[in-house]
Amino acid sequence: MKITIKYFASLREALGVSEEEFVSQAGTVKELMHELVLRGESYRTAFTSIKGLRCSVNQELCEPIHLIAEGDEVAFFPPVTGG
């Protein structure tokens, strides 16, 4: 299935891309993350070095067990602090 993946903040900087179309066999966000980690060192480092990585599907925050489907937009972003 084809999905859109968006990367934000330090994750975007680490990967050098803010958005991409991706063909996936994943059924959940967690499975998608595993597919991305297998793409290479930059993805592996980015996804394993950011503590508390958050995700959303179709602009709604979710847990990694959330199901994904054809045409979904999945976004990944680090936790945000302010002050």
- Note the pLDDT tens digit of each residue in 4-54: 999 999 899 999 999 999 999 999 999 999 999 999 999 999 888 888 899
pLDDT at residue 37 in the model: 95
> What's the average model confidence in pLDDT over 55-73?
97
Element (H, E) at 36: helix 29-37
- Which residues does residue 24 pair with via DSSP β-bridges, in sequence order? none
The values of phi and psi at residue 22, to 5°, are -140, 135
pLDDT at residue 48 in the model: 87
pLDDT at residue 80 in the model: 73
Output the CATH code of domain 2-77.
Answer: 3.10.20.30
pTM: 0.92
